[in-house]
Amino acid sequence: MFLLLLRLVATTLHAMLMFGLAPLVMGVVGTLRARLLGRRGPPLLQPYFLLRKLSRKTAVVPDNATDLYPVWPFVAFAAMAVAALLVPGFCAGLLTANMSDFITFIGLVTLSRAAIMVAGLETGFGFGGAGAARDILFGVFAEAALLVVILTFVLIAGSPTIDGVANFFRFGHVGIQVSIGFALASSFMVAVTETGRIPVDNPAGHLELAMVHEAMLLEYSGKNLALFEYAAMLRLIVWMSLIGTVFCPFGMGLAGNVLSWPGGLMLWLAKLAGLSVALSVFEIGTAKMRIFRVPEFLGVAILLGLLSAVFLFLAERIGG
């Protein structure tokens, strides 16, 4: 009973931190990128200001939108919010640990993306349709790559849940394997695609011809846009937490042990900071790709995923 209560507290804390810190992570990445480029950049808290500003403005609704127009932002946000609850942050063993199957996670992320795509087609104007069509194209390759990477994790850890994989990588003697290196590279590529960062999509770019994720939100404003923006921030922190949890679970807290929480919390913040730095350095080091080069980029991700599986099989054959 006490244990259950502790896990409940841990889950609540996790949810509060996830939802509270999501804009901050976005702000850190934006500021770091600007500083690395030699600009002063926006304040760290800019995303919070953005959300407040948007939610206080009158929403402008296109006259040819259907009745479902205000529903899509809620679907996009709610699916991403549940995904944020499934991915362990500072500690493993949350109340949602049993539900946190990798495939459920992919499904929720896809549901959120589908809502954004349909929202882009809502008014029937060209930009939204083009953005949605391109997002479908990226999704085709990203999903294939992600599934293959997940196969590697699940087979190494023998558990289909994110929580189980984190626990296994932490306590089991996995050692350094070639296949985990390939899987890391592949999941970085998928994460960059899913969160819409350079080189796949430019979150700060406002050139219509090159937009993907922004193009679908052009007709949204006010509180509806605020929900979409918040979902994008959640997506970034969720992917960072996922990569941090799977590839670097050492020292993570356990929900049943209060004493392990502060260490886990520090470590989680350090992981988020480290990944933010890595993302900003990567972003300023590359240019945005042409749309039709992205499938090649993701094709490499699929190939790396397959290679990681193949190396895993070979290693098992030689070892066993």
CB of 150 to another protein, least distance (A): 8
Using the rule CB under 8 A, give the single segment among 114-122, 165-173, 194-202, 244-252 that binds another protein. 114-122
| CA–CA separation, 168 and 151 (whole Å) | 15
Chosen residue from 4, 66, 174, 286 binding another protein by CB under 8 A: 66
Taking alpha carbons only, the member of 312, 279, 295, 294 closest to residue 148 is 312
Question: Are 91 and 254 spatial neighbours (Cβ–Cβ below 8 Å)?
Answer: yes
Strand partners, 254: 92, 257
- Confirm or reject binding of residue 79 to another protein (CB under 8 A): yes
- Confirm or reject binding of residue 305 to another protein (CB under 8 A): yes
- Confirm or reject binding of residue 4 to another protein (CB under 8 A): no
- Confirm or reject binding of residue 319 to another protein (CB under 8 A): no
CB of 213 to another protein, least distance (A): 15
Q: Which is nearer to another protein, 29 or 211 (CB)?
A: 211
Coil, helix or strand at residue 253? strand
Cα-flanking dihedrals φ and ψ of residue 57, to 5°?
-90, 150
CB of 36 to another protein, least distance (A): 31
Q: Which is nearer to another protein, 29 or 309 (CB)?
A: 309
Q: Which is nearer to another protein, 28 or 50 (CB)?
A: 50
Applying the rule CB under 8 A, the residues between 189 and 228 that interact with another protein are: 208, 218-219, 222-223, 226-227
Coil, helix or strand at residue 2? helix
State CA 17 to chain mean position distance.
16
Residue whose tokens read 């609540």: 12
CB of 258 to another protein, least distance (A): 25
Element (H, E) at 171: helix 162-171
